[in-house]
Amino acid sequence: MGETTRRIRAAGGQAQAVPLDGPLRLTALCDGYLDLNLTRFPDVVRGVGDDLAIADGQDLNDMTISVNAFLIEGGGRLALVDAGDSNRRGDFLGHLPRALKAAGYAPGDVTDLLITHLHGDHAAGLLSKGEKLYPNARLHVAQREIAFWQCSESLDEIQAIQLPFAEAALRVYADCLVPMRPGQQVLPGVLVRPLVGHTPGQVGFQLGQRNPVLISADVLHLPALQVKHPEWGFLFDADRPTAHSMRRELLAEASLTGLRLAGSHMPFPGVISVSAGQGGLGFSAAQAA
């Protein structure tokens, strides 16, 4: 097992502040981890991919990704970006409530749930035993994401695996569901950005002033592979060519502007900076607070 894998597996339940200027505070929270085999990256070229994984402290035959969420505090609101996977698959996941507690809060304190997309590893943790885990929060989901899961007959078999989690979240939180649109400020200082491809309605959330962070959801699953090879898609990308374009565009923007990317599955705390060098794009973990 590589060093990065070891570190990712130990991070469930942790909370770590992400440096941010301006009035909002951002904290990364870790729900746990997922082990992936190579079937999840159908486009990876062996050899090239093995070298990149090993250089990053991973093993292409036994990869591990974090499942992260993020907490935004400010202006009297406490917003949780994504809700993790719950412990439905085992105790390697479902540590988000403990991470929230480590940050000083209980589920009842959360005022807003900002959902990047409705796959199970982002939405299953909204519920506990079929009920709201966050009883006082409004659920913000992009209009296009809601529509995608409501047209369930048009889902392919891969996306259909995720349908029960999307449906349950939309049903249980129906009384406090707030549709959102890209371009909107969902909360003061939090801009909704379209990140289409992984799902048609996936969005990210950008915050911070001079040195902003974009919570970029599932644009990248494994930066060790996909920063250099954005064409290596993920099995659960609903539209792999569009997801590839989105990934390429966002990496280019991050390398040109210094925009930091905070990912749902990048090694906890999940924040990277992207830079252009002689060998193409590279990345480094953004500094801890």
In angstroms, give the least distance from the CB of 277 to Zn ion.
28
Task: Specify the residue, 24 or 124, whose C-beta has the smaller distance to Zn ion.
Answer: 124
Position 112 contacts Zn ion (CB under 5 A) = no
Mark residues 130-169: x for contact with Zn ion by CB under 5 A, - for none: ----------------------------------------
Contact with Zn ion (CB under 5 A) among 31, 56, 145, 218: 218
Residue type, 5: T
In angstroms, give the least distance from the CB of 232 to Zn ion.
16
Phi, psi for 73 (deg, rounded to 5): -120, 140
Task: Specify the residue, 24 or 243, whose C-beta has the smaller distance to Zn ion.
Answer: 243
Q: Is 9 left (phi over 0), alpha (psi -120 to 50) or beta?
A: alpha
Strands 213-217 and 260-263: parallel
Contact range with Zn ion by CB under 5 A, out of 1-9, 78-86, 185-193, 216-224: 216-224
In angstroms, give the least distance from the CB of 116 to Zn ion.
8
Contact range with Zn ion by CB under 5 A, out of 107-115, 118-126, 143-151, 176-184: 118-126
Contact range with Zn ion by CB under 5 A, out of 37-45, 50-58, 116-124, 251-259: 116-124
Task: Specify the residue, 189 or 200, whose C-beta has the smaller distance to Zn ion.
Answer: 200
Contact range with Zn ion by CB under 5 A, out of 71-79, 115-123, 178-186, 247-255: 115-123
Q: H/E/C letters for each residue in the chain?
A: CCHHHHHHHCCCCCEEEECCCCCCEEEEEEEEEEEECHHHCCCCCCCHHHHHHHHCCCCCCCEEEEEEEEEEEECCEEEEECCCCCCCCCCCCCCHHHHHHHCCCCHHHCCEEECCCCCHHHHHHHEECCEECCCCCEEEEEHHHHHHHHCHHHCCHHHHCCHHHHHHHHHHCHHHEEEECCCCEEECCEEEEECCCCCCCCEEEEECCCCCEEEEECCCCCHHHHCCCCCCCCCCCCCHHHHHHHHHHHHHHHHHHCCEEEECCCCCCCEEEEEEECCEEEEEECCCC
By CB under 5 A, the count of residues binding Zn ion is 2
Task: Specify the residue, 211 or 242, whose C-beta has the smaller distance to Zn ion.
Answer: 242
In angstroms, give the least distance from the CB of 217 to Zn ion.
7
Task: Specify the residue, 144 or 221, whose C-beta has the smaller distance to Zn ion.
Answer: 221
User: Cβ atoms within 10 A of the Cβ of 283, count?
Assistant: 21
Position 31 contacts Zn ion (CB under 5 A) = no
Task: Specify the residue, 24 or 67, whose C-beta has the smaller distance to Zn ion.
Answer: 67
Task: Specify the residue, 121 or 145, whose C-beta has the smaller distance to Zn ion.
Answer: 121
Residues 76-105 binding Zn ion (CB under 5 A) are none
Task: Specify the residue, 73 or 145, whose C-beta has the smaller distance to Zn ion.
Answer: 145
Position 121 contacts Zn ion (CB under 5 A) = yes
- Contacts with Zn ion, residue ranges (CB under 5 A): 121, 218
